[in-house]
Amino acid sequence: MIFMALFCLAGISTIHAAEKELMVGFVYVSPVGDAGWSHAHDQGRLALEEMPGVKTAFVEAVAEGPDAERVIQTMARRGYDIIFATSFGYMDPMLKVAGQFPNTVFMHCSGFKTADNMGNYFGRIYQARYLSGMVAGAMTTSNVIGYVAAYPIPEVIRGINAFTLGAQAVNPDVTVRVVWTKTWYDPAMEKEAAKSLLDAGADIIAQHQDSPGPQEAAQQQGVYSIGYNTDMSRFAPNAHLTAPIWNWAPYYQQVVEQVRNGTWTASSDWPGMAEGIVDLAPFGPMVPQEVQDRVLAVKEQIIRGEEKIFVGPINNQQGAEKVADGVVLPDEELLSMNWFVQGVVGTTE
């Protein structure tokens, strides 16, 4: 009888362990709001809430640096099983905390450092950037496109280059003028940067920023815009042509399942359009059907792996050959990209 009682208790314990709720935390650099970078990640978080046995929480508008370290550490101390930190500047704070909590899984978005219990991930958004560049190149009449950008890091530089190559694929006369804001989220500053580009002759505004400010500036001056992160067309319906957008749900669900079944290992993941992580927002009604058809045909080529985007010959800003004819730029060079392609006006500093 004692043996049977112990057996039953052991069985109950096993069942309870199997049913243990998985706690998943998210750290966001900007407000969740109803559009933008953090909103896109939060849609992925909400998809996790639909999974049985998963509980999530988030902290928004967390500054990069000491604040991020404090928030990540607090989540780890409270027993979160997985913590996702979703901004480049969270990398070193997360790495520091990861060393203190070896049994917690840490995941950093857009960085390059790993540890035994810390992986990193991003998406090949440059694929969608290229497609949105094709739209912009087809729609510009001044052949000057403005680009409001956050920080001169490889992630952003790579996106500007892909966008420019896409625009040049349909319109070789295009130039892309870049203004750096040195902030991920500052609607007023983003809007002013867009206005400065419009004053310089741009008739389309693109962005690597978190708010619809640049698109609103474009609409106010009667020109077009390319958004980012999520479909922000409702903020500037008369201007919004399309946008490179994120769908984080499949990736977050995959990581949670790996942790739950014990197969997760630290790695650097870079899924793209083929995996459904990046996409292009619906076209605005002003985009002609022939432009839409051409862009969607290239999208299918990207999904099938037939269009690599960064294929030579590619020249740098100064006109010198950077990638030889027929050469596909390898991932390690894309991930460390610190130079602009020919046709970009601006500095990488």
d(CA 54, CA 257): 10
Q: What is the pLDDT of residue 20?
A: 79
146 close to 159: Cβ distance less than 8 angstroms: no
**Whats the size of the chain, residue-wise?**
349
Residue 297: left if φ>0, alpha if ψ -120 to 50, beta else—which one?
alpha
Q: What is the pLDDT of residue 19?
A: 56
Pure H helices in 140-248: 154-170, 187-199, 213-220
Q: What is the pLDDT of residue 11?
A: 37
Q: What is the pLDDT of residue 5?
A: 33
Q: How do strand 224-226 and strand 204-208 relate by DSSP bridges? A: parallel
- Blockwise average pLDDT, block size 10, the chain, 349 residues: 33 42 97 95 98 98 97 98 97 98 98 97 98 98 98 97 98 98 96 98 97 97 98 97 98 98 97 98 98 98 97 98 98 96 97
